[in-house]
Amino acid sequence: MEFGSDNVVGASAPIVEAIAVAARAGRQGTYGSDRWTQSAVRRLEDLFERKLSVLLMTTGTAANALSLATVTPPWGGVFCHDMAHINDEECGAPEFFTAGGKLIGVSGPGGKMTARALTETLARFPRGGTRHVHAATLSLSQATESGTAYACEEIGALVEVARSAGLSVHMDGARFANALVDLRCTPAEMTWKAGVDILSFGATKNGALACEAIIAFDPGKVEILEVQRKRAGHTLSKGRFLGAQMDAYLADDHWLDLARHANRMAKRLADGLTGIAGIRLPWSRQANEVFAVLPGDIDAALKQAGAHYYEWDALGLSADDVPRAGEVFVRFVCSFETLEQEVDDFIRIAGGAR
């Protein structure tokens, strides 16, 4: 019963196969001039319905940090949710890549910032002075760190606030697929049609081995992205490794199938937990993560049975939801490899503990 993370599993079969085929393919173009990378870029352009600047990377942290550096000067401020991955989990990578940019937390329940909170926070950074860093970038996570997702209209409303303050807009899509399949809007609608400038498009958590794309919706950004990638040591000479993954990920809607499975397992888990007395789910699940406040005895029974998951920071919970004595706040993550049986066993044990 593995609900610790979506990165404890390996890669999906088609992606593994694609890596092996490419690695055995002898002499090929280097530094991203291979045919798999070229094919992956075309697939992304079809998917997003426009010309793009695409750069393949090995990690989400690098994709986020490099994306932010492209739209944020060293004296710029990046406005993101207090608990955003870029703010709280990337060890200062955005600060490194931007050469000293500053992340400004914006609050909101369930991992989603509100337009009002964004407006109020921006008001503390008036344009033109030199006391504060310059407000430069809005960064939204889709799905969020709390397993929720912004509706397209919510993205539009936040972008409107950002635009009126002159900000660029970045989206951290480490779990882009998981958000997309639940929202049932198009990739274009969730991004550039809503005003997003640059996107970290994740594949690693959803079945790849190590592959993410930076997608700038301005097709003229390739050169500026490439020089920064090289300088950060992220340009693979044998770029086929990245190209093969992304190409197989996108082929035949494989990426959507993987995400639908993970989300379905998360829904099954959330539904099961909802029916058990004493368990509270503070936010509605919208991707492949479920957050819950567990009574201590249920937590103990699950651990005893070998279930694996992590306690989580309760900082973002409302007063009603904050764990009381004897309770723990935990995160469950489902992946493309999560089995129905695992979920059902888990629910059964949790339900039987009382």
**Stretch 106-125 residues interacting with its own copies (CB under 8 A):** 124
Q: Using the rule CB under 8 A, is 13 a contact of its own copies?
A: yes
Report the residue from 3, 79, 97, 283 that binds its own copies according to the rule CB under 8 A.
97
Q: Contacts with its own copies in 38-57 (CB under 8 A)?
A: 57
Query: To which H or E segment does residue 255 belong?
Result: helix 254-274
Which of these ranges, 47-55, 145-153, 219-227, 324-332, lies near its own copies under the rule CB under 8 A? 219-227
**Helix, strand, coil content of the chain in percent (nearest 5):** 45, 15, 40
Q: Which stretches of 124-253 are DSSP H helices?
A: 152-164, 176-183, 187-190, 222-231, 240-250
Separation of alpha carbons 77 and 63, rounded Å: 18
Q: Using the rule CB under 8 A, is 95 a contact of its own copies?
A: yes
Report the residue from 46, 49, 51, 74 that binds its own copies according to the rule CB under 8 A.
74
Report the residue from 209, 322, 328, 347 that binds its own copies according to the rule CB under 8 A.
209
Q: What angle do CA 98, 104, 106 make, to 5 degrees?
A: 140
Report the residue from 93, 106, 181, 250 that binds its own copies according to the rule CB under 8 A.
93
Nearer to its own copies, 103 or 190 (CB): 103
What is the sign, positive or negative, of the torsion defined by CA atoms of 222, 223, 226, 228? negative
Rg for the chain, CA atoms, rounded = 21
Report the residue from 115, 157, 210, 251 that binds its own copies according to the rule CB under 8 A.
210
Q: 256, 295 in Cβ contact below 8 A?
A: no
Q: Using the rule CB under 8 A, is 219 a contact of its own copies?
A: no
Q: Contacts with its own copies in 140-199 (CB under 8 A)?
A: none
Longest pairwise C-alpha distance within the chain: 62
Q: Contacts with its own copies in 245-304 (CB under 8 A)?
A: none
Q: Using the rule CB under 8 A, is 99 a contact of its own copies?
A: yes
Binding-site size, its own copies (CB under 8 A): 80
Structure tokens at 152: 């397209």
Nearer to its own copies, 75 or 271 (CB): 75
Q: Using the rule CB under 8 A, is 311 a contact of its own copies?
A: no
Q: 262, 53 in Cβ contact below 8 A?
A: no
Strands 310-311, 53-57: parallel, antiparallel or unpaired by DSSP?
Answer: unpaired
